[in-house]
Structure formats: structure tokens, C-alpha cells
Amino acid sequence: MAYEYLMKFIIVGETGVGKTCIMNQFTEKRFDPVYDVTIGAGYGSRIITVHKKQIKLQIWDTAGQEKFRSITRAYYRDAAGALLVYDVTKRHTFERLSSWLEDIWQQGDTTVMVVGNKCDAGEDIRAVSAEEGEEFAKSNRCLFIEASAKTALNVAAAFDKTTKRIREKMGYGDVKEVDEALGINIWNWKGFRIGRTRNDENIDGAAASKRFNSCSCG
């Protein structure tokens, strides 16, 4: 399928919050109750339509373990959008958001969507309220949504809303749009470029990550 823009997205957050499951649900419409811990970064892609434009999202699912943090920071460069994910049932993953956000913004003014994953969990095990998540996002100039990688609730919406915000920045003039006549492979703003179907970066998703068996990522 042809596309007009190529945007780089990253998914960031503590280990076990469901980053890989969110990417798999969005790109492949599947949920794995047992997942593989990401080392470095996994990769997926999907073409969506925003403001009547076909946009291909290149999505990098980054490792959440502290020991791989220096490696994963390299993937933050030139990201147009970021999903900053926490687990609503594990408060420490919410309390670590500021640290992850600082890493993202050290690379530039990336558009960030804060995602409270596992919102399908019962209220009896919820550790972070929706109001707390929304307040954090608002105070840090981020978008906010609660989602469930397990049920697919709001997973697509998280990517769609982030992409729409980037497009709005283009309309406001905050992002300079380059004429399509300049051709493919012309980067016109950090994180995306004008383009048509091709092999892009010839990315091999399997080679982009190594994994170990681990626990549920709901």
C-alpha cells in the first residue's frame, strides 16, 4: 500500500508494562499472554490514515530493563512520536515515568502519549487512578489515554491520536512541511519523511531484537 509520510515511533517504559503487547496488538492484532523480554528493541509497522493522508508508522519497542537503557536511548533519536507506557496495577511503573520522559526529551521535542496499560484490570488491583495519569500527562505537556493490550481497547487510538497531534503541528506551522516533489527519502522534520512504498530501511524485525521468555504482559 502506498503511503505519503513515514513516521518513527518509539514505545518506552518499565519492563513488564506491556509495551511489546501494545505493539503486537496494533501491528498484528494479536495478544500473547506469555511474551519475550525485549533486549535492545523490537520492530513493527502499520499504515494508518490521518487527515486523509496515508502514514506509515515505524514502531520501535524498546527494552525497559535498566541494564539496557544505554542501548535503547539510541532508538529515541529522530522519533516523531512516543508512547510512554505504565501499568495501572503497578504504581512503581507510574512513578518512573518522569525518568523515561527526561530521556525522550533529551533527544528533542517528541510528541508523547502517556498510556496507562491494563485498564481492563479490576478496581481492586488498580494502583494508579485515571485522574493521576491524566494529571501527570497534562503537567508534562503530553497526551493521555488508558488502554488494554489484552482487549485492544484504545490501542489503535493511542497511535492515531499521537499521529493526529503531529499532523496538527504541521498545520500550525510548528513543523515545516517539505514539498512532495522533492522525492522519497527526503527527511523534512525529525522522525518522518516524504515517501512512497519501498523497502524503507530494509529493517529485519527479527534481527532488531533478541528475547528471553518471561511473564504475562497484559
Weakest-pLDDT range from 25-29, 38-42, 95-99, 147-151: 38-42
R_g of the chain computed on alpha carbons: 17
Strands 186-189 and 192-194: antiparallel
- How large is the average pLDDT for residues 10-24? 94
pLDDT of amino acid 66: 56
For domain 5-213, the CATH superfamily is P-loop containing nucleotide triphosphate hydrolases (3.40.50.300)
The DSSP output letter for 14 is S
The per-residue pLDDT for 11 is 96
Distance CA 23, CA 72 (A): 16
Is the per-residue pLDDT at 199 higher than 50? no
CB 25 within 8 A of CB 38: no
* In the chain, where the domains are located: 5-213
pLDDT at position 196 over 60: no
pLDDT greater at residue 110 or residue 116: 116
